[in-house]
Amino acid sequence: MAFPGQLCGKNLHSMKALKLYFAGQYLVYRLQTSQFLYEQLSNPYTKLYFTFLNYVIPLVTKLNIIFQAKSPSVHKFHSHCVSAYKALLSCFVNPTVVQSHATVTDPSDPANHLPLAQLYLGVEAAMMLATDEYKALDKEALAECFRRCKQFYTELCCQLKKRLPLDNTVVKELKFLDPQTVVSGSIRSIADVASRFPNVVPPENLQSVDQEWREFMYDEEISTLADRCSTVPTEEFWGKVPTDKYPNLAAFAKAMLTIPVSNADCERAFSQVNLIKTNQRNRFSTEGVASLLFVKDGVKNMAESCATFEPSDEMLSNFNKDIYHNVEAVYGEEADGEDSEEVDAMAMHAD
């Protein structure tokens, strides 16, 4: 599947071919639409705008990939969002505003905008504007193209500001999960963020969690562990934290790492359920579907496949003819007719 940014790039690379195609369509069939498209593709401002889109849309795609992350990333989510948002703001907003109070600034306020000539449209667009062809263009028409680019930036940043947790203090404070933040000693207390999750940390355990954190920061063993785990996923670091020494903190951190940054994982699970529970297998019980999902995920995490997975002796001992007679567990209800005959046939085959 091609991303929008890739489509813009393909349009730019194929612009000459597209112009020839639509010119031919107009000459042969006299289609007004073909003539209009040919004129638009021949317009240098159209090429400039496509070049601008080819720069900015991949930035949005990169941000979207963060939302699609399969591994725990909630501890990095706030910093990723803020840096991406600031990078886009800096293309059309005064740098002083971006540095001082970017997350509270109204992107649509013209008072904060740069002059049109100072908009950043990407390197390729800047190189195009430096050519004699674009220097000779009508200044007012060029300014209108710049206004369209600024309008795109403005609307994009307004929408991002509505949707991203730029000022969410809870998401921001979850950076304590990062091993490097742990050893830096920059966060003296996690009581505030822990108090936001009373179902995970009851009020009576709040002091215990915070005290464990204060000891955790200065533990030399933890510092060594953080150095060793600097290149591995964060969940592996917390998985190696001694639970006998930091039981409350370890449990809290692991619970926080399960927080999804979007509904992408849920959508993936729904897609897998649809692949498993088809019209031909519509009598699968919830327990059966959940078991298959669990097995599939486990095999994948083990870097195995069905062809290379070696079942244990215990698994093999449980796989006998009796499992085929447990119809209710498999289908969710008592089998009848053809289902019973099919189950009996499988049981005979198992014998």
How confident is the model over 92-122, as pLDDT tens digits? 999 999 998 888 889 999 999 999 999 999 9
Each domain of the chain, given as residue ranges in start order, spans: 43-163, 182-258, 263-318
pTM of the model: 0.79
Rounded to an integer, the average pLDDT of 240-247 is: 95
- Report how far apart, in Å, the C-alpha atoms of 56 and of each of 50, 114, 119, 252, 296 are: 10, 17, 12, 39, 38
Please, which contacts does 128-133 make with residues 24 or more away whose CB atoms are closer than 8 Å?
Answer: 128/47, 128/48, 128/51, 129/48, 133/44
DSSP state of 241: S
> What does the DSSP assignment read for 165-194?
-TT-HHHHHGGGGSHHHHHHT-----HHHH
> What confidence score (pLDDT) does residue 130 get?
95
How confident is the model over 180-237, as pLDDT tens digits? 999 898 999 999 999 999 999 999 999 999 999 999 999 999 999 999 888 888 999 9
Q: Where is average pLDDT lowest: 175-179, 266-270, 313-317?
A: 313-317
pLDDT-based confidence at residue 332 (cuts at 50, 70, 90): low
Helix, strand, coil shares, percent, the chain, to 5: 70, 0, 30
User: How far apart are alpha carbons 61 and 57 in whole angstroms?
Assistant: 6
Question: Exposed, middle or buried: residue 112 (CB in 10 Å: 0-12, 13-18, 19+)?
Answer: middle
How confident is the model over 4-38, as pLDDT tens digits? 555 566 667 788 888 889 888 888 888 889 989 88
How confident is the model over 73-91, as pLDDT tens digits? 999 999 999 999 999 999 9
Which residues make Cβ contacts (< 8 Å) with residue 263, sequence separation at least 6?
none
What is the number of other CB atoms lying within 10 angstroms of the CB of residue 173?
A: 18
CA atoms within 13 Å, Cβ hemisphere of 205 = 16
